[in-house]
Amino acid sequence: MSLIEKFTFSDIKQSLYHYTGVGSLVGIAQSQSLWATHISYLNDSKELIHACEIFLKCISIKLETGSFSIEETNFLNQLGKWVNSTSKTTPQLFVFSLSEEPCLLSQWRSYTPHGKGLCLEFSPDKIIELLSKSSLSLVKCKYNWEHQQITINSLIEELLNSFKTQAPKASSNRHIAECYYDYIGSFYDEIYFILASIKDEAFREEKEWRFLIKLQEDLTNEKLKFREGSSMISPYTEIKLHSKPYFESITLGPSPHSNLSFSSLCMLTTNKNLCRCVKNSSIPYREW
């Protein structure tokens, strides 16, 4: 089992939900794909930075309380420095956000355009299909400090055990303080996939899960695409959808024209065979 597989999910027993707008659903129908956004362009301004700070704290505590050989101590020190330095250059990591909550007011307000919001339900079978047919990983976000600490300490322990088992040679072409950077760098994807599951506690109500996908560090990559964001250009990549219907259900959010909106949504979903059923949100929220 790979390091990523130890910290991600290949099976799931519950539906998960994605909040979006009618424009995005039309785009999904046309492109037959989901859009995963670059991790630096999500709504959390400290995305990954928060996780890296916790990682460094855990390394520091481990060094203070544990007993290690000189080589192991050097490795752990360099692991902390490596994460600190690489966190300043965000990896080409893309996120498609999901929630455990099927109809949450804060999600409607934060992630959908007013009057044009939708909630897409992904059944367990559809999630498993996406994981099996795409280069995706699924992680469950951790908000509680204790859970975050357990996850990161487990990651550090896995990396330390790999170091002990493989006993890599120090790189002769690097400074002695960075002699294990090449070895640590071989776990680049694994480290950042796991750090991407760490979220600030302020977002705990969202109960977020994430599809994660990594692109090669190449800005000419054809899979790297761009769209207009709310205040800037937003990089994204596509996750190809497979068998129809894509969604178990689609819920229409609060709308000033709920009857017309519901009718046109039913027309689109029936015409394109997008979901098994269409629902109306029961939340009496209004901002018009």
Whether residue 287 lies inside any domain: the answer is: no
Whether residue 285 lies inside any domain: the answer is: no
Whether residue 242 lies inside any domain: the answer is: yes
Question: Looking at residue 287, what is its pLDDT?
Answer: 59
Whether residue 33 lies inside any domain: the answer is: yes
Whether residue 15 lies inside any domain: the answer is: yes
Question: Looking at residue 288, what is its pLDDT?
Answer: 46
Helix (H, G, I), strand (E, B) or coil at 31: helix
Report CA torsion sign: 243, 248, 254, 259: positive
CA nearest neighbour of 278 among 246, 245, 247, 251: 251
Write down the residue that tokens 């050097």 correspond to.
74
Whether the per-residue pLDDT at 143 is higher than 90: the answer is yes
pLDDT tens digits along 156-180: 999 999 999 998 887 777 777 789 9
Contacts of 2 (CB under 8 A, 6+ apart): 190
- Given a contact cutoff of 8 angstroms between Cβ atoms, the answer to whether 100 and 204 are in contact is no
Q: How many structural domains is the chain composed of?
A: 1
Domain range for residue 152? Answer: 3-280
In angstroms, rounded to a whole number, what is the distance separating the alpha carbons of residues 251 and 272?
16
Q: Distance between terminal CA atoms of the chain? A: 52
pLDDT tens digits along 106-120: 898 888 888 899 999
Q: What's the chain's length in residues?
A: 288
pTM score of the predicted model: 0.91
In angstroms, rounded to a whole number, what is the distance separating the alpha carbons of residues 98 and 122?
9
Higher-scoring residue by pLDDT: 93, 87: 93
Whether the per-residue pLDDT at 232 is higher than 60: the answer is yes
Whether the per-residue pLDDT at 127 is higher than 70: the answer is yes
